[in-house]
């Protein structure tokens, strides 16, 4: 490792995209990079490694720094960390520093620290999947949800997207009410309505089924935004309200009986569908957030940097935390 090596490479490897930041010891972010899904469960181990490496290259390029300038790496990861050995990650990142300084941590903890420096509170993330966590003394002490698209993930982009396409399929099948979601989904996929039937089934439905079944199930999350855009449609409204109610359960669990500390909310569903200006919350969601110190967090990149710079067993200094947040906003250009 070069004697000049002093930078932290912090990575937030999520289910939809991967973000990386290059950070100086004082918390100043110098570079930002973006890659595809870095969740080894949904993207596969090879895909996750490639995504992490791509985001890291982008961050180092913007920072105008070589790999040899990286003294430490912290990767906040969704999914099973056992699927990505540290040796494989070090090779992909061309990291030649101390192996003990390449760490993998929980993505939910990184999300929490993207919005809060306090050692106690909770985080609830609703993106492709959904999960809540209670944080005490700077560590995750209890996790709720996060059981994946097959077993759980209520209120997530996947859950909403699946309900959207099921409503569309049901309409085209003639067993459910018409919904504005149908034209939105068909337009999204470039499928024209066709009034014919073949072998007793709507040609339009058959084409839609063919497209949807060719995708990985988790990709259904791409249709979640349509439920929020069709705000005047009763079917879409019911789907959104059900998602709100499911998120309320996670929030209540994460806050716990004591309801102490900030509530960090992150993920695309939270930001575009729940926290967006003018959105009406279900009664259950409004109750779950009543009196909460809500802290929105765009993603886990800031938290990954916080965890990478924090002394072992200690919180990062408030001024360092604020410097990371401000400079991260600058380097990613938004």
Q: Would you list the domain boundaries of the chain?
A: 7-117+298-331
Give the pLDDT of residue 3. Answer: 44
The answer to whether the CB of 298 falls within 8 A of the CB of 265 is: no
Q: How far apart are CA 120 and CA 52, in angstroms?
A: 29
Q: Please give the Cα distance from 247 to 145 (Å, whole number).
A: 10
| Distances in whole angstroms, Cα of residue 311 to Cα of each of 25, 161, 260, 308, 317 | 11, 41, 24, 8, 10
C-alpha to C-alpha distance for 107 and 300, rounded to whole angstroms: 7
In whole angstroms, give the CA distance from residue 195 to residue 202: 7
Greatest mean pLDDT among 28-42, 112-126, 266-280: 112-126
Asked if 13 contacts 51 with a C-beta cutoff of 8 angstroms, the reply is yes
pLDDT(46) > 90: no
Q: How confident is the model at residue 84 (pLDDT cuts 50, 70, 90)?
A: confident
Cβ neighbors of 115 (< 8 A, separation 6 or more) are: 123, 262, 264, 265, 266, 295, 296, 297, 303
Phi, psi of 304 (to 5 degrees): -65, -40
Helix (H) or strand (E) holding 229: helix 224-229
Q: For the ranges 210-214, 227-231, 272-276, which has the lowest average pLDDT?
A: 272-276
How many residues are given for the chain? 334
* pLDDT confidence of residue 189: 97
The H or E element containing residue 90 is: helix 86-93
**Using an 8 Å Cβ cutoff, are 18 and 38 in contact?**
yes
What percentage of residues in the chain have a pLDDT greater than 70? 96
**Does residue 18 surpass a pLDDT of 70?**
yes
Please give the distance of CA 273 from its chain centroid, rounded to a whole number. Answer: 14
Interatomic CA distance for residues 199 and 34, integer angstroms:
46
- What is the rounded distance in angstroms from the CA atom of residue 114 to the CA atom of residue 199? 54
The token duo for 235 is 């079917």
pLDDT: is 299 or 315 the higher one? 299
Q: What percent of the chain has pLDDT over 90?
A: 75
Q: Which helix (H) or strand (E) holds 177?
A: none
Contact assessment for residue 179 and residue 236, using Cβ atoms and an 8 Å cutoff: yes
The residue written with tokens 């009763």 in the block is 234
pLDDT over 90 (residue 276): no
At 80, the pLDDT band (50, 70, 90 cuts) reads: low
Decide if domain 7-117+298-331 falls under CATH 3.30.420.40: yes
Tokens describing residue 123? 């985080």
**pLDDT at res. 316:** 86
Predicted confidence at residue 234, as pLDDT, reads 97
């Amino acid at each position: 490792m070069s004697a000049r090596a002093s930078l932290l490479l912090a990575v937030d490897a999520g289910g939809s995209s991967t973000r990386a930041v290059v950070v100086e010891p004082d918390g100043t972010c110098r570079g930002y990079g973006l890659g595809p899904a870095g969740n080894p469960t949904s993207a596969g181990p090879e895909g996750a490694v490639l995504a992490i490496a791509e985001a890291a290259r982008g961050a180092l390029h913007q920072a105008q720094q070589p790999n040899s300038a990286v003294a430490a790496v912290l990767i906040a990861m969704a999914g099973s960390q056992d699927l990505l050995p540290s040796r494989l990650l070090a090779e992909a990142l061309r990291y030649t520093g101390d192996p003990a300084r390449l760490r993998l941590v929980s993505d939910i903890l990184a999300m929490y620290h993207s919005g809060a420096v306090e050692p106690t509170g909770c985080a609830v993330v609703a993106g492709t999947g959904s999960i809540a966590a209670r944080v005490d003394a700077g560590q995750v002490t209890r996790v709720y949800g996060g059981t994946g698209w097959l077993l759980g993930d209520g209120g997530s982009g996947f859950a909403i997207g699946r309900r959207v396409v099921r409503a569309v399929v049901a309409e085209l099948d003639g067993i459910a009410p018409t919904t504005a979601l149908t034209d939105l989904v068909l337009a999204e996929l470039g499928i024209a309505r066709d009034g014919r039937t073949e072998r007793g089934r709507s040609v339009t439905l058959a084409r839609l089924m063919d497209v949807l079944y060719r995708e990985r199930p988790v990709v259904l999350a791409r249709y979640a935004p349509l439920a929020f855009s069709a705000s005047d449609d009763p079917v879409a409204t019911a789907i959104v309200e059900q998602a709100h109610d499911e998120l309320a359960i996670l929030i209540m669990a994460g806050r716990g009986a004591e309801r102490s500390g900030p509530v960090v909310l992150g993920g695309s569903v939270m930001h575009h569908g729940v926290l967006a200006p003018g959105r009406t919350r279900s009664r259950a969601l409004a109750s779950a957030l009543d009196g909460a110190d809500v802290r929105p967090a765009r993603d886990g990149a800031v938290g990954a940097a916080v965890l990478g710079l924090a002394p072992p067993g200690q919180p990062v200094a408030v001024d360092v935390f604020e410097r990371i947040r401000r400079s991260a906003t600058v380097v990613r250009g938004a």
